[in-house]
Amino acid sequence: MKIRPANPADVPALFHIRTSVRENHLSCQQLAGLGITEASIAEMISSAPCAWVAIVDDQVVAFSMIDIAEASLFAAFVLPSYEGMGLGAELVHAAEEELFRHHREIWLETAAESRAAGFYRHLEWGNESKAEGDQIRLTKTRP
C-alpha cells in the first residue's frame, strides 16, 4: 500500500471509487447535479494539495479530499473490495495533517446512522452536533 497526493490523472479512478461504494452511493449524474464533475475535481487537485490516493498493486483503490478554505474533510471513500485494510484511516490522517496546517479546528458531515459516523468517531472526531437532514457534524481540534 502507498499513500500519495492525487494528481489530475487520478480523477477517473476517483469517480470509479465514488460511484462504487455501498453506503452514501451517488451516480455520476447525481454528482454532476451537485457540481462535482471530473473537470471540477481536476481543477481542485491542480490548484492546491487537497486529495490523496491509496495505491495497491499499482491501482488507485481509495481517496480522501478536503476543502482547505472551509476547513473540511468532505470525501473519504474506499473500493468495497479493499475495505478493512486501514486505507481509509491512512487517507483521513493525510487529509487531517494538511487541514491542521491551516486551521486549529476541522470538521466533516456524515449521516448519523452510517458506518462512516462510527469510523470517524473511532478516529477521534467528536463534538457531534445535528446538521441538515439526517446528517451530523463532527469536529476535531489540532493536537
Domains in the chain (CATH in brackets) are: 2-104 (3.40.630.30)
Instruction: Round to whole Å and give the CA distance between 78 and 20.
Output: 9
Opening angle at CA 73, ends 89 and 25, nearest 5: 80
pTM of the model as a whole = 0.92
For residue 52 the three cell numbers come to 490523496
Q: How deeply is 121 buried, as exposed, middle or buried, from its count of CB atoms within 10 A (0-12, 13-18, 19+)?
A: middle
pLDDT per residue as tens digits for the range 109-137: 999 999 999 999 999 999 999 999 999 99
Between residues 123 and 28, the one the model is more confident about: 123
Predicted confidence (pLDDT) per residue in 29-54, tens digit: 877 778 888 899 999 999 988 999 99
Q: Is the pLDDT of residue 24 over 90?
A: no
Q: How far is CA 43 from the centre of its chain?
A: 17
**Do residues 119 and 138 touch, judged by C-beta distance below 8 A?**
no
Rounded Cα–Cα distance for residues 93 and 123 (Å): 9
List, for residues 56-112, the tens digit of each pLDDT value. Answer: 999 999 999 999 999 999 999 999 999 999 999 999 999 999 999 999 999 999 999
Judge whether 111 and 117 are in contact, CB under 8 Å: yes
The letter for the amino acid at 102 is H
Please name which of 130, 127, 131, 129 lies closest in space to residue 139, comparing C-alpha atoms: 127
* C-alpha radius of gyration, the chain, whole number: 14
pLDDT for residue 78: 96
